[in-house]
Each structure stands twice: as C-alpha cells, then as structure tokens.
Amino acid sequence: MTYWVLRNALVLLVILHVISCLTPSGAGGIQLTVHQARQPASLKSDAALPSVLQVVSFRVTISASDFSPIEVSFPSNATSGTISGIPVGSNRSILIEALNSDGRTIRKRTLQGISVSGGAATAVQATLLAVPTITNLKDGSIVPRNRLILQGYAEPGSSVDINDRFQTVTTSLNNPQLDTSPISPSLSDGRFVFEPPLLEVGTHTFAVTDPQTGEQTTLSLTLVDIKRTPGTLLSFGSAESPNQTTSLGINSESVVEPPEPKGAK
C-alpha cells in the first residue's frame, strides 16, 4: 500500500512556522508548498484527464476544538501559500482538498494531531489521495437500465467497491456472488470501467469507495426501461459534456417512467 501511495498520488510539503509574537497568547502560520498536486505522478499533465478531474483550486482548512475553523483557498497554479493566525496548541487538524470546476473534492488528505508551539518549526509531508469519481454520468441523470456503465477514476493501482442503495436495501455490486469481477483502476492513470448487473427501475444511489483509503463519493441515478416508438429520438448528456447528446438508436426510444410507489397519492 505504501508503494502505490507514494508512487501515484501527489505530494505536498506543509511547513508549520510558529510566530509567537502575533498575539499575546501566541499564534502560528502555515507555509504551504505543493508538489505535483494536480494529477497522478504517472501522468505528465492533467490535460490527459477529463475536465471533471482537473483541479481548479485548493482549499485548506485548519481546525481544532478551541477555535473556529480557518479556511483558505489557493488557485490551481499556486506553488505555495501562507495561512496565518492559527492559535498555538496541540491536536490541530489540516484538511487539504483539491477541487474541480464544479466545486467537488477530487483529491484530499487530513492531517491530525499537529502541534503548533511558539518558536518551533515543524515540517509535515502528506500525500493527497484520489477520491473515486464517476466521470461519464452526472448526479441525478436518467439512464436506461440495460445500458448502465460506470466509468471513472480512482487511485492508480488501488481497488474500488461500489454499493447500490435502492429503496431501503444496500447491495454490493462488485461481489463474487453476483459473478462480477473486482474493480481495479489502471496502474497508469487510475481509470476504471464497471458494468453492473441489470438493476430495478427506479432511483439508485451508488456509493463508490476506495477500501484502502476510505475515500468515497456518491451518485444518484434514475434507471428506466425504454421502448421503441417511431418518430422521435431520446438523447442523454454526459458528465464531461452535459450540453452534448448521444442518440440511443436509429429508431426513437421513449422513457418508461418508474412506477409510483405503493401508497403514494
């Protein structure tokens, strides 16, 4: 596990520099230096990634039980930045997030138990971990249930679990009992493709998790049956190009809406 974390994720160097003269009680500053912070080390640039995985900003949050969280943002091209006014004390937490253009967290890491003491300088190295992300579908999309394919990115060389919550039941989709193969992101860029078994018509919430890091995202989709009716076309957009549509067939296909739950008025 240590090998793939150090090899594929981005590395950032956080230097904690305490400036005890800022306030009578003492306060500290963080000088943050970021290295290879926008894509896996195996990729030469983030241009090879879909737009939903391109970092546009970084958000750093400092928190502890004895003060309100301190939040600072940095642009994606920043190589360093300073956060000042952090009260001196122990058990400080640092949350570092890489955000895409939709404001979604696509890489993150939390550092805990950081001590800030007057006159001291503490160097902390951290590796941001990829948050598993579905890239071909947007949250809330309507998808024909017999054409559901989940494409996404996760930590290169790791593994991915996908759970499906439908109504009140949660089911593991990549389960040997369902005759599905393990989901293993590519070693080169972290890409994965998964075609789940045929699922029930209705709204499903998929939880995509990296079991090694615990990072997770969720995606809600409405699955429908389709039937052919001549005269019109049914098209869907994607997460990468929501304004572009793709025809589902030569003849038109219309959506058969999910049945209304029993007892609903």
pLDDT tens for each residue of 162-195? 999 999 999 998 865 555 667 888 887 888 999 9
Of 81-95, 144-158, 170-184, minimum mean pLDDT range: 170-184
Where residue 254 falls among pLDDT bands split at 50, 70, 90?
Answer: very low
Residue 13 three-state SS: strand
Higher pLDDT, 32 or 232: 32
Higher pLDDT, 117 or 52: 52
For 226, which DSSP code?
E
Residue 3 belongs to a domain: no
Q: Are residues 227 and 244 in the same domain?
A: yes
Query: Which pLDDT does position 167 carry in this prediction?
Result: 94
**What is the spatial distance between Cα 203 and Cα 180, in angstroms, rounded to a whole number?**
22
Residue 265 belongs to a domain: no
Residue 165 belongs to a domain: yes
Where residue 109 falls among pLDDT bands split at 50, 70, 90?
Answer: confident
Which range of residues forms the domain containing residue 139? 133-256
pTM of the model: 0.69
Which range, 49-53, 170-174, 243-247, has the best average confidence (pLDDT)? 170-174
List the CATH number of the domain containing 98.
2.60.40.10
Where residue 144 falls among pLDDT bands split at 50, 70, 90?
Answer: very high
Q: Are residues 43 and 19 in the same domain?
A: yes
Q: Are residues 167 and 192 in the same domain?
A: yes
**What is the spatial distance between Cα 228 and Cα 196, in angstroms, rounded to a whole number?**
23
Q: Are residues 114 and 177 in the same domain?
A: no
Last residue of a domain, one of 78, 109, 130: 130
Of 31-40, 48-57, 101-110, 250-259, minimum mean pLDDT range: 250-259
Where residue 203 falls among pLDDT bands split at 50, 70, 90?
Answer: very high
Residue 263 belongs to a domain: no
* Of 10, 14, 73, 96, nearest in space to 45 by CA: 10
Higher pLDDT, 55 or 243: 55
Residue 204 belongs to a domain: yes
Q: Are residues 175 and 112 in the same domain?
A: no
Dihedral over Cα of 167, 169, 170, 171: its sign: negative
Q: Identify the helix (H) or strand (E) that includes residue 6.
A: helix 2-8
* Of 34, 23, 13, 35, nearest in space to 121 by CA: 13
Query: Which pLDDT does position 78 carry in this prediction?
Result: 73
Q: Are residues 70 and 151 in the same domain?
A: no
**What is the spatial distance between Cα 260 and Cα 265, in angstroms, rounded to a whole number?**
9
> pLDDT by residue (tens digit) across 211-230?
888 899 999 999 999 875 55
Last residue of a domain, one of 114, 130, 146: 130
Where residue 47 falls among pLDDT bands split at 50, 70, 90?
Answer: low
Query: Which pLDDT does position 204 carry in this prediction?
Result: 97
Higher pLDDT, 134 or 17: 134
CB-based contacts of 90, cutoff 8 Å, min separation 6: 113, 114, 115, 116
Task: For the chain, give the mean pLDDT.
Answer: 74
Q: Are residues 52 and 152 in the same domain?
A: no
Please count the structural domains in the chain: 2
Last residue of a domain, one of 113, 130, 147: 130
- The pLDDT of 255-261, averaged and rounded, is 53
Query: Which pLDDT does position 92 carry in this prediction?
Result: 86
Q: Are residues 103 and 148 in the same domain?
A: no
